[in-house]
Structure 1
Amino acid sequence: MSATTTGIATGVAARIRHRVPFVEGAALAVAVVVVAMAAVGPLVAPHDPYAVNLTDALLPPSAEHWFGTDANGRDVLSRVLHGARVTLPATLVVIAASTVIGVLIGTVAALGGKVVDEVLMRITDIGLSLPAIILALGLSAALGPGLSSAVIALSVTWWPGYARLARTLVREVKDAEYVDAARVLGVPQGRLIFRHILPNALNTLYVQTTVDVGAVMLVISGLSFIGVGAQVPSAEWGAMIAGEANNLTNAWWAVAFPGLALLLTALAFNLVGDWLRVRNDPTIRREAR
């Protein structure tokens, strides 16, 4: 995964969390709103997000168009609401696929012996040493522009961090006393892994996945912005910004509102992930007091 992107976002989230009271509640509320937008946004959008009406082009925010209109007369609010259904699911698919790949490789490395561990971890180290966004950019370009290409490319390049984390967690749990007791009692290897080792080793992995939602969303939108992800006129937030970038000086709202939606969503999920990390780590919780 992109250590730089995730680290910067997490650092900003941590500073905000320590300085602003009740910020976790606000961040959780924003995250819930975004999920609700993805679920029902297109149903409550006041206009068709793809309806072109050149007579209403570049109208400023008003009672009829709360977020104004873009260069093709499309309602920006409707497109932002619809964009949540495009951007968030794509992000979650990347997170889910990367987690499955990473957990599989990390678990095999932790349980497969020294040689298997060395081979898989060296491959993982190579993946961690290369910026995910650069690899994703190359793969997206090779697969052809499109949101599906960006999702596939990121899924293939985002797993190394999860593999390293899963390996560490599984190695910590596999020698625990209750695992040894189950092994002595004759519990089959498969049951031992899936019922005893993995559930207890990976119960904190959701913290990292929550933090990564914001980072992956930024990368997906970034790929769309430079033309290898979702394509204009898609309502994906990065594509919306790219499509209206030339109108920034005379129609700021067409760029500002999708950009603000992207910023608030990424920050909210990072804050929620940071809050979960603190709650699950007693050492950090004591230092925060």
Structure 2
Amino acid sequence: MTARLTTRGLTLAYEERTVVEGLDLDVPDGRVTVIVGPNACGKSTTLRALGRLLKPREGSVLLDGESLATLPTKRIAQRIGLLPQTPVAPDSITVGDLVARGRQPHQHWWQQWSDEDERAVTDAMDRTDVSALADRAVDELSGGQRQRVWIAMALAQETGLLLLDEPTTYLDIAHQVEVLDLVRQLNHDQGRTVVVVLHDLNQAARYADHLVAMKSGEVVAEGAPAEVVTEELVRDVFGLECVVVPDPVTGSPLIVPGAPWSAA
């Protein structure tokens, strides 16, 4: 397994509260890695550090063997695309203008916009089904529409590495499937390395090539979903009694919770 993006001895904290400690992680190239775990386990914090939105207290994040801390911001933006959990759009910006901002890392002072930029933006909007919204203000859209617009901006950046923090938030089940299918398609057609944080363990098991389970700021298991997702792991990490069965469609692990509460 090769890995362009890695962490070594990574410790992350917010003021005095340590969230992740001593983390060693290798993100497999050309594959979809999904990070799962209970709330406040450090998965989103880890993703922020992978995109250099959070400075490590100790250790380092390495891109092609170089510390992110030493690389110019524009160079990182040309190689790593990041969609954070709660992005904020400028007031009154249109969908088309927001998606076009994904091209800024590839522009130069002598050439502000190119045919390649136009192609990338058009393709990203088509893939996320937001082309018809191009002239609408982002703040007028529904939560699901806004999420798809943000994903389009990340796709327009056209980086080899793409980090998505809970990209299915606000989406109904049909659009959740569309987004995760899009992630798989980008990985297959363009060879993009994708890291996704998800809450839904069944979706993670269905779409991941490489699954990372975290608890209390540490990786407790990683590997193929069929190897990682067991009844014991779900009980240990999530505190949930369940039965794990094969998904009837994909054969991936399917978590069935125990019987619901009943007055009987």
Q: TM-score, normalised by structure 2?
A: 0.25
Q: Which has the higher helix share?
A: 1
Question: In terms of Rg, which structure is larger?
Answer: 1
Q: TM-score, normalised by structure 1?
A: 0.24
